[in-house]
């Protein structure tokens, strides 16, 4: 027989954890039971058990989960909890990690709706800042409703009364039943892709909660959210509030009220246009009066009254500026020439050519190089070049007299 593998306790627990985590049924389960052994330590987490007549399940709900109802938990209360089943490694027992908890009398359908509502709200589908304004005068109004319902007749009647000839485009869809959610979403998508539709009304007349359930589905809510044009939701009566109402850009209490929101009153628009046209005309007249008064003031001004005399004044002013410019230029040029002559004289005085002109000479080795400053720099027989004021001499040193140089230096110093 093969040798049995010995597992550590932690290895077995980890193996069981993986089994539970990979079971899709245990990742999101609804459990109904009675609360017992409820504890809420300083950490804010809730620890309790759910029990019925045959079994007990340990539960933990971390702080922040369904906080509004969690404060009302107590022993003996029957609840419905949703969460994930997993193993707590330290104790080696399985328990329910609670995500949401509700009183048992609320019903599973309502629990599912509340869960969907909370999820869509977290995703921002109900955010007020994403609501779009309705157009003032739509070119065409899209209608998503049943083609045989009273809601359609009401919306057509109201629209025709408020603005005769307004464009209406119906995308028919069932408003209740199993196929209703998909038909409603498809109708919204078709109207959103069609050009020329500026606003869409989706809705139906009143009914029971079951009759309105199609408007509480995720597919309809997301279709309204994704629609590229503003959407008005008019589902049921004023007291009914569905997910479609919360996602839509505007909510109307009835389909007739939705038509009133979407379609303006033509007579009121005409009156507003008349008022605006009157304001524009009065504003134009006022601007013309101001321009006319300004033109009269300009006509009476000195420049227009005596234009030739004013031109002479301007010409005389320009002549004065020209004379001042010439005077300044002459003065600056004379100053510049004097400064240039002074610099030239100073440069001429410092020039070696001036020294040569007074009879001095420069002695250096043939072929260039620095001037010789001492007799010690050459030896008898060396050739030197003597540069005069005009021309140069090629010479050969016959004798070097250092004493004469010293005397010359001493004599120069005595001077």
pLDDT tens profile 8-51 = 888 888 888 888 888 888 888 989 899 999 998 888 889 999 99
Q: CB neighbours (10 Å) of residue 212?
A: 22
Query: Token pair of 148, please?
Result: 């045989």
Q: What is the pLDDT of residue 120?
A: 94
Inform me whether the pLDDT recorded for 409 exceeds 50: no
In angstroms, the CA 168 to CA 159 distance is 9
b/e map 356-386, b = 16+ CB within 10 Å: eeeeeeebbeeeeeeebeebeeeeeeeebbe
Query: Token pair of 42, please?
Result: 């300083």
Please report which confidence band the pLDDT of residue 411 belongs to, taking 50, 70 and 90 as the band edges.
Answer: very low
Helix H or strand E segment including 96: strand 93-103
Specify the pairing of strand 231-235 against strand 46-51. unpaired
Query: Under a CB-based contact definition with an 8 Å cutoff, are residues 90 and 18 in contact?
Result: no
Q: What is the pLDDT of residue 101?
A: 85
In angstroms, the CA 144 to CA 173 distance is 7
What's the whole-number mean pLDDT along residues 183-191?
96
In angstroms, the CA 59 to CA 230 distance is 45
Coil vs helix vs strand at 108: helix
Instruction: Tell me what percent of the chain is helix, strand and coil, each rounded to the nearest 5.
Output: 50, 20, 30
Name the nearest CA neighbour of 93 among 63, 38, 49, 32: 49
DSSP letter (8 states) at residue 375: G
Q: What is the pLDDT of residue 172?
A: 95
What's the whole-number mean pLDDT along residues 299-311?
68
C-alpha distances out from residue 251 to 88, 127, 169, 390, Å: 47, 14, 20, 113
In angstroms, the CA 403 to CA 376 distance is 11
CA 389 from centroid of its chain's CA atoms: 84
- CATH fit for domain 138-264, picks 3.40.50.1970, 1.10.3720.10, 3.40.50.10550, 3.50.50.60: 3.40.50.10550
Q: What is the pLDDT of residue 67?
A: 59
Q: What is the pLDDT of residue 239?
A: 76
What residues does each domain of the chain span?
Answer: 9-106, 138-264, 269-316, 355-414
Please give the backbone phi and psi of residue 220, each rounded to the nearest 5 degrees, phi first. Answer: -70, -40
368 Cβ contact list (under 8 Å, min separation 6)? none
Inform me whether the pLDDT recorded for 56 exceeds 80: yes
In angstroms, the CA 157 to CA 147 distance is 14
Q: What is the pLDDT of residue 408?
A: 40
Q: What is the pLDDT of residue 91?
A: 86
Q: What is the pLDDT of residue 66?
A: 55
DSSP letter (8 states) at residue 323: H
Contacts 24+ apart (CB under 8 A), 386-393: 386/361, 386/362, 387/356, 387/361, 387/362, 387/363, 388/356, 388/361, 389/353, 389/356, 389/357, 389/359
b/e map 238-259, b = 16+ CB within 10 Å: eebebbbbbbbbbbbebbbbbb
Query: Token pair of 335, please?
Result: 């100053």
Query: Token pair of 357, please?
Result: 């002109």
Residue 46 pairs in a beta bridge with 61
Coil vs helix vs strand at 208: coil
Name the nearest CA neighbour of 243 among 69, 101, 119: 119
Helix H or strand E segment including 330: helix 307-349
Specify the pairing of strand 78-88 against strand 93-103. antiparallel
pLDDT over 90, % of the chain: 40
Identify the top-confidence range among 311-320, 332-341, 395-404.
332-341
Residue 167 pairs in a beta bridge with 140
In angstroms, the CA 12 to CA 5 distance is 11
Q: Report whether CATH 3.30.420.40 matches the domain 9-106.
A: no
Give the burial class of 200: count Cβ atoms within 10 A of its Cβ; 0-12 exposed, 13-18 middle, 19 or more buried: buried
């Amino acid at each position: 027989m093969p040798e049995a593998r010995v597992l550590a306790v932690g290895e077995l627990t980890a193996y069981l954890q993986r089994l539970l985590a990979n079971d899709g049924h245990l990742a999101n389960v609804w459990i109904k039971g009675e609360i017992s052994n409820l504890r809420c330590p300083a950490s804010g987490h809730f620890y309790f058990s759910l029990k019925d007549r045959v079994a007990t399940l340990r539960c933990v709900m971390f702080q922040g989960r369904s906080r509004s109802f969690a404060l009302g938990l107590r022993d003996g209360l029957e609840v419905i909890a949703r969460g994930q089943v997993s193993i707590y490694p330290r104790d080696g027992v399985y328990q329910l990690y609670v995500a949401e908890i509700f009183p048992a009398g609320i019903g599973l359908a309502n629990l599912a709706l509340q869960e969907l509502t909370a999820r869509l709200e977290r995703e921002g589908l109900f955010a007020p800042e994403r609501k779009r304004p309705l157009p003032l005068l739509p070119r065409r109004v899209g209608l998503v409703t049943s083609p045989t319902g009273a809601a359609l007749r009401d919306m057509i009647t109201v629209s025709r009364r408020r603005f005769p000839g307004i464009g209406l485009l119906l995308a028919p869809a069932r408003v209740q039943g199993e196929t209703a959610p998909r038909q409603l979403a498809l109708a919204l998508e078709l109207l959103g892709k069609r050009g020329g539709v500026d606003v869409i009304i989706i809705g139906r007349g009143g009914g029971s909660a079951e009759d309105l359930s199609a408007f509480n589905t995720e597919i309809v809510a997301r279709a309204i959210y994704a629609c590229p044009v503003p959407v008005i939701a008019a589902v049921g009566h004023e007291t009914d509030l569905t997910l479609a109402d919360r996602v839509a850009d505007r909510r109307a209490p009835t389909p007739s009220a939705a038509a009133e929101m979407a379609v303006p009153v033509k007579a009121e628009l005409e009156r507003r246009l008349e008022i605006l046209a009157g304001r524009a005309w009065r504003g134009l007249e006022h601007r013309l009066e101001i321009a006319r008064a300004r033109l009269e003031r300009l006509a009476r001004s000195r420049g227009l009254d005596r234009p030739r005399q004013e031109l002479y004044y301007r010409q005389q002013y320009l002549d004065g500026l020209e004379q001042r410019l010439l005077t300044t230029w002459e003065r600056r040029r004379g100053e510049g020439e004097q400064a240039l002559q002074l610099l030239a004289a100073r440069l001429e005085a410092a020039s070696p050519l001036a020294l040569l002109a007074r009879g001095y000479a420069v002695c250096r080795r043939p072929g260039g190089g620095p001037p010789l400053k001492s007799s010690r720099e050459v030896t008898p027989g060396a050739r030197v070049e003597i540069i005069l004021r005009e021309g140069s001499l090629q010479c050969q040193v016959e004798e070097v007299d250092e004493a004469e140089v010293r005397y010359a230096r001493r004599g120069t110093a005595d001077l």
